[in-house]
Amino acid sequence: MSKISLYMDEDSTTRSLFIALKSRGIDVITALDANSLGFTDEEQLRKATSLNRVLYSYNIRDFYALHTYFLEQEITHAGIILVQQQKYSIGELMRGILKLINSKSSQNMINKIEFLSSWIN
């Protein structure tokens, strides 16, 4: 069972969250790290998948629609974690991500969406 690696899209890259996750041993990169700034949402999801990483984003509407499109077209993606922007503190986001990562494997995330709100108490 391999651990989830994260890919933070442009919309969701918060330096403080990135640093907090890195300091707790989470394998996380940003769109900047992947040289994919300015990519469309579909390109971001394909990039994350090509790197075997679950995409993390605040862009709920667009990525949910893209997830549905991928399923309809039988296109595989590595998984998506969605969260409402500015609803939670960095600590809450980090704890929710850690709980999710410690509960699911990367294989469990294939073609799945998780709403981080379900993992935040």
| Per-residue pLDDT at 11 | 79
Mean pLDDT, rounded, for 34-60:
96
| Per-residue pLDDT at 98 | 96
Residue count of the chain:
121
| Per-residue pLDDT at 10 | 86
Question: 77: closest CA among 90, 67, 89?
Answer: 67
Confidence band, pLDDT 50/70/90 cuts, at residue 7: very high
| Per-residue pLDDT at 121 | 76
Mean pLDDT, rounded, for 97-117:
97
Mean pLDDT, rounded, for 50-59:
96
Please state the separation of Cα 64 from the chain's center in Å.
12
Mean pLDDT, rounded, for 87-115:
95
The DSSP-derived string for 71-121 is: HHTT-----EEE--TTSS-HHHHHHHHHHHHHH--HHHHTT-EEEGGGG--
| Per-residue pLDDT at 87 | 85
Sequence-distant (6+) residues with CB within 8 A of 75 are 69
| Per-residue pLDDT at 46 | 97
Cα distance between residue 56 and residue 33, in whole Å: 14
